[in-house]
Amino acid sequence: YRLSDDMVTIYEPPQRNAGILGGKFLERTRVAKPGSSIDNPLYYAPQDFVIGRTIEIFKHKFILTDADEYVLKYAERHADTFPKETLDSLKKKHSKIPAENTDEKQ
């Protein structure tokens, strides 16, 4: 997700022996959420991207697996605009919070 223009680029990891080459799936496109209308589309926003969440883009489902350190730093600086779930998923990915302090206790 690009903060500067609200566009999405998707890269799929290659899957060995699965017949999937991986690489770029979607080039820099503004993506409406499934079920939104053509007349009044609801677009994906930074708050929608939680590591581990599945999102649907053009009838294809993707599991968000990673975000870089810049994303975490940005979200921390603007914590009031991000849901706790999004911020926690970034912190967990970058080991900023111990596993026992997350809501995922078993």
Q: Is 86 exposed, middle or buried (0-12, 13-18, 19+ CB in 10 A)?
A: buried
Please, what is the end-to-end C-alpha distance for the chain in angstroms?
32
Instruction: Express each pLDDT in 14-62 by its tens digit.
Output: 777 777 677 888 899 999 999 999 999 999 998 898 899 999 999 999 8
- Mapped onto helix, strand or coil, the DSSP state of residue 89 is helix
The pLDDT value given to residue 96: 63
